[in-house]
Amino acid sequence: MSPSHKKYRETAQTNSPTTVNSTSEELGIFTSSDIGSTIEQSQVPSLPVSFDTEILSQQIQPDENISVSVEIIAPPKNTIVSTSLDQKLIRKHYLMSIKERLDNLLKADPLKNRRDITIPIHKIQITKEVDMTDSVFERISTDIQEHSSIRETDPVVVIVLNGEYHVVSGNRRIMALKHNKIPTIKACEIPSASRSELQLWSFFAESKKKDKDYKEFVDMSNLLLDYLNLTTADLRKWNAKEIALVFGDFLGILTKQRLIFEINLYSDLVSACCTAVDNNADFSQRLCLECLRKYKQNPSEVGNILKKEKTWNKDSELTTLLKKISPNIEYQLCQKNIDENEARILCEIFRGDELFSRFVRSADLRTIGKQAQRDSIIRRFNLFKTEMKKQQKSIKGSDSLQIRVEENPKEYDLLITSSEIVRSNVWSQKSSIVIITIGMAVPDSSVHTIHLPDSMAKEDESGKLNNHISLSIQAKYDGEEVSNGKDFSTFLTSMGVRNQTVFSLSDLKPLSSNKSEVFIDLNDLIYHEIVIGLLHHEASLIVKNTKGKIGLEKAAKEIRKNSS
């Protein structure tokens, strides 16, 4: 054997994959039977023509050593670790499957498996008692007395349980027929398995068209969860976006039905609300929203008010009482995984400190460990106070704002609005203008976000502070638009503003110099504190009415007071 052949053989033996422990070819791992084909494909073409075939056969044929060293083991279970993207996709598929069931529920024909029958009236069992003075019952009774039948086309739907017919739909009609001693009735029988589908279909298909009784809606919400194999505990783990995704089209995003559905997730709250209903409370959309919002801040106090033994004359009376409830800071700390004893001590230390209350509601405390929680929170609170003082100083107003009132101003350099109509009209009419549109992303504009100070943030129904508002900036000079991109970045830089995605209010002050004429289209979104913080304190401001002027002056005084 030549030295070169001997050297190659030693190298091949050294590199042969003799420790393979899987049979999965898909994963790129081979058994001993695959080793030969691998060598044959990858190594043989590069061998000298005179290479001894005996050497090759010794490499390909599994000898004693190879058979001993190769251990065939099945892949261990659960070795594939899912990524966060995998988990998001799985979660999305799960949510969409529930949404699909809801959509199919409203589209389905629950009577497709019906069987028309005629049965004696005495064999039908009523499943819901109806007051004899009920207006619908009285109307049906009158129809029967005058025509010996019911003019309504909706059938009475029954199911068979234990050899008896039980009403699924049509209790009022059956009661009226029994009251008027009608011997038989035509009805349609459906399988008992279709009962829930029919009840849910008939209720929720109509719930968007007319208001429903509070307690009835609670009962049907529970039936809906059973139908979807969900529990209230499951849904409490969902975030608001997930609930809106699945149930938004079904219940409506901001409707009374959606709010009652969410109230129903908290057993003590729904029980207290039912007590208030018994005491004549009318749960309007506004009252439902206030109940839900305050419950998440102070559940015990909300329960005490709702369970009061008194007759509520109107929903505003109850709503006013709920609005006066202060957040339970100890409860909110515990909800954020702070130890109960530590939460109690912190509340004693900062009793009556409104700023601490605001801090707890807005702070993310999930990263605080179990050790030294009190010191960590106090340190964070001190940083919060320092930042608040900086923010307040940055939006400090002038003692004498230059504000004039003009209903239809003509001359101004800068417009601040949140109205698409106002923005569009001004943009088309003026040849030189800078427009800041708050609350929307305007096409072909530079889109950003304003980060408001916590003192200006708005609370949502969960008590969370929302302090981000979208903002669009447009500019044109002598009829030529400043295009979005490098040109706009250059424009902002020339004005003393750094082009960035998120602005604080003070970042945008350079857009209005002390010579600027600024027209402010005030509304619910552009409130006075934003204007004071957004503009140069010596800019000349224009508003449409005296009310807006008074509001700006009042806001400026309040800001100076808080920052002093």
CB 307 within 8 A of CB 476: no
Neighbour order of strands in the sheet with 124-125: 115-120, 184-189, 156-161, 164-169, 124-125
Residues 406 and 390 in one domain: no
Q: Which two tokens stand for residue 374?
A: 């009190």
Number of domains comprising the chain: 4
pLDDT tens over the chain, length 564 residues? 544 444 444 444 444 444 444 444 333 344 444 444 444 444 444 444 444 444 444 444 444 444 444 455 555 555 556 676 778 888 889 999 999 988 888 787 777 778 888 888 888 888 887 777 777 788 878 877 777 666 665 678 888 887 788 888 888 888 888 888 888 888 888 887 788 888 888 787 765 555 667 888 888 889 889 989 999 988 988 887 888 888 877 776 557 888 888 899 999 999 999 999 888 888 888 888 889 889 988 999 999 999 988 888 776 788 889 988 888 889 888 888 899 999 999 999 998 888 888 888 777 787 788 888 888 899 888 888 887 776 555 555 445 568 888 888 888 888 988 888 888 889 988 888 999 988 888 888 888 988 887 667 776 655 566 788 888 899 888 888 888 777 888 888 888 888 888 888 888 888 887 667 889 887 766 677 777 778 777 788 888 888 888 888 877 777 666 655
What interhelical angle do 240-251 and 256-263 show, nearest 10?
130
Q: What is the pLDDT of residue 41?
A: 45
Residues 428 and 512 in one domain: yes
- Inter-residue long-range contacts of 390-393, CB under 8 Å, 24+ positions, other chains counted: 391/453, 391/454, 391/455, 391/504, 392/453, 392/455, 392/559, 392/562, 392/563, 393/563
The answer to the question of residue 514 being in a domain is yes
d(CA 526, CA 531): 7
Q: Name the residue range of residue 471's domain.
A: 402-563
- Taking the CB of residue 361, how many other CB atoms lie within 10 A of it? 19
CB 37 within 8 A of CB 17: no
Residues 526 and 470 in one domain: yes
The answer to the question of residue 128 being in a domain is yes
The answer to the question of residue 94 being in a domain is no
For tokens 């009608």, name the residue. 182
CB 287 within 8 A of CB 277: no
Residues 464 and 483 in one domain: yes
Phi, psi of 414, deg, nearest 5: -135, 135
The answer to the question of residue 483 being in a domain is yes
Q: What is the pLDDT of residue 26?
A: 38
Residues 60 and 175 in one domain: no
The answer to the question of residue 13 being in a domain is yes
- State the DSSP string of 63-120: -HHHHHH----PPPTT-PPPPHHHHHHHHHHHHHHHHHHHHHHHHS-TTTT-EEEEEE
- Taking the CB of residue 110, how many other CB atoms lie within 10 A of it? 20
Q: What is the pLDDT of residue 57?
A: 45
Residues 360 and 411 in one domain: no
The answer to the question of residue 174 being in a domain is yes
Domain boundary among 14, 42, 69: 69
Q: Which two tokens stand for residue 357?
A: 């209350």
Residues 419 and 554 in one domain: yes
Q: What is the pLDDT of residue 77?
A: 58
Residues 386 and 410 in one domain: no
The answer to the question of residue 544 being in a domain is yes
Residues 408 and 431 in one domain: yes
Residues 439 and 471 in one domain: yes
d(CA 221, CA 551): 45
Residues 6 or more apart whose CB falls under 8 angstroms from that of 90 comprise: 82
CATH code at 135? Answer: 3.90.1530.10
d(CA 363, CA 368): 11
The answer to the question of residue 370 being in a domain is yes
Domain boundary among 394, 413, 447: 394
> % helix / strand / coil in the chain, to the nearest 5?
50, 15, 35
CATH code at 558? Answer: 3.40.50
Domain boundary among 69, 99, 127: 69
Residues 425 and 551 in one domain: yes
d(CA 359, CA 387): 11
Q: Which amino acid, residue 460?
A: D
Q: What is the pLDDT of residue 358?
A: 82
Q: What is the pLDDT of residue 397?
A: 46
Pick from 365, 406, 385: nearest CA to 517: 406
Q: Is 312 helix (H, G, I), strand (E, B) or coil?
A: coil
Residues 472 and 540 in one domain: yes
